Amino acid sequence: MEAIIIGIAKSAIRLATPYLYASIGETIGQLSGVLNLGVDGVMLMGAFSAFYTVLKTGNLILGLLMAIVVGAIFGLLIAFVNVTLKAEQGISGIGVYIFGLGLSSFLFRTMVGTVETVSGFPPLSVPLLSNIPIVGEIFFHQNILVYGAFALVPLAWFILNKTPLGLCIRAVGQHPETADSLGVNIVHIRYLTVIFGGMLSGIAGASLSIALLNVFQQNLTNGMGFIAVALVYFGAWRPATVLTGALLFSTVNAIQIWIQVKGINIPSDFTLMLPYIVTIAVLAAMAKRRIHPPAALNKPFERGE
């Protein structure tokens, strides 16, 4: 029993990685007032570019960098459409999703074609800490992207709450008129947060294709990016609560995988459904808590003249 729980906990920590990168990035973007629903598409592109680079060069760092660059390019596109062209953010996000899904499938079909695996980031034992019984096994025998994801949470908290930049970001999302009158460049801040979010989505994708699963296939993420957006609502735009949500989902995923591997007699389609049902339930439960999103979320800024 103990071994089972340790096994599930360990894989839950691992599986929280893509959710964490994507939803922390989305949190920062939403706090500045931009709702990006294209996360899933960007994740797919990040996953493919990292995978392809590693497949061809074997260089994991280069693969990760490619995912970041591609994520940044997508972030730039999203920022241009939502901030500069002031598009309806819900619909443009779906456009980005369809684009990313189609493009990653297209590139995969033309450049790779068949199922291939790469050897991804190896587990890295943290000296001393990994020797702690149970805890060490669960937390400190993971690969570097997992550590990075967990380090991101306090970092995001610090930037958002303790630095002038974080104050600017939140001001732009809560009350752009005031921020504007104080001389904050709203367009710059929103570009910055959205491009940064794109980079993190790219890493989220890479964490799937070159660290956790080490494969690429069409629609590899299976809606994970949308769940990451849901986690931002769940986390009430606070990194620490987003972390809780990510762990909740990764635990559900870990249990689901365990059930499948163990061959327990529950149809796999039902266990696969689980994360999506939990998402809806969680979103509905959140509504009772009366936490309001950033006031300017989904509202393009127009300076009154």
| Rounded Cα gap, residues 30 and 297, in angstroms | 6
CB of 49 to other proteins, least distance (A): 15
Closer residue to other proteins in complex, CB, 130/222: 222
Note whether 279 binds other proteins by CB under 8 A: yes
Q: Which helix (H) or strand (E) holds 203?
A: helix 186-207
| Near other proteins in 199-218, by CB under 8 A | 218
Nearer to other proteins, 90 or 154 (CB): 90
Is-contact 28 77, C-beta < 8 A? no
In degrees rounded to 5, what are phi and psi of residue 142? -115, 170
- Give the separation between CA 160 and CA 168, rounded to whole angstroms: 9
Task: Give the tokens for residue 79.
Answer: 């920022």
- Does 284 sit near other proteins (CB under 8 A)? yes
Token pair 């669960």: residue: 138
Judged by CB under 8 A, which of 5, 154, 270, 295 binds other proteins? 270
Q: Is 91 near other proteins (CB under 8 A)?
A: yes
* Contacts of residue 188, Cβ cutoff 8 Å, sequence gap at least 6: none
Q: Which stretch binds other proteins (CB under 8 A): 3-11, 62-70, 146-154, 271-279?
A: 271-279
Computed on alpha carbons and rounded to an integer, the radius of gyration of the chain in Å comes to 19
123: contact with other proteins by CB under 8 A = no
CB-wise, 41 or 120, nearer to other proteins? 41
Stretch in the footprint of other proteins (CB under 8 A) among 54-62, 98-106, 126-134, 183-191: 98-106
Is residue 215 within 8 Å of 117, Cβ to Cβ?
yes
Structure tokens at 301: 């800024």
Candidates 52, 140, 233, 249: give the one binding other proteins (CB under 8 A).
233
Quick check: 87 binds other proteins (CB under 8 A)?
A: yes
Instruction: Identify the bridge partners of residue 124 per DSSP, sorted by sequence position.
Output: 142
> Which residue in the set 18, 29, 41, 75 belongs to the binding site for other proteins (CB under 8 A)?
41
Please give the residues from 61 up to 80 whose contact with other proteins meets the rule CB under 8 A: 77, 80
**Closest separation in Å from C-beta 34 to other proteins:** 14
Residue 114 sits at φ, ψ, to 5 deg, of -115, 175
Instruction: List the one residue from 9, 39, 146, 229 that touches other proteins (CB under 8 A).
Output: 229
Residue 99 Cα distances to 116, 124, 141, 234, angstroms: 23, 35, 36, 27
Least separation in angstroms between residue 89's CB and other proteins is 9
Task: Report the alpha-carbon distance of residue 33 to residue 295 in Å, rounded.
Answer: 8
The whole-angstrom separation of Cα 245 and Cα 282 is 9
Decide: helix, strand or coil at residue 124: strand
- Interface with other proteins (CB under 8 A), residue total 50
Scanning 12-20, 65-73, 104-112, 128-136 for contacts with other proteins by CB under 8 A, the matching segment is 104-112
Nearer to other proteins, 264 or 277 (CB): 277
Nearest CA among 222, 246, 194 for reference residue 77: 194
Q: Which residues contact other proteins (rule: CB under 8 A)?
A: 37, 41, 77, 80-81, 85-88, 90-103, 105-106, 109-110, 218-219, 222-223, 226-227, 229-230, 233, 267, 269-270, 272-273, 276-277, 279-280, 283-284, 287-288, 300
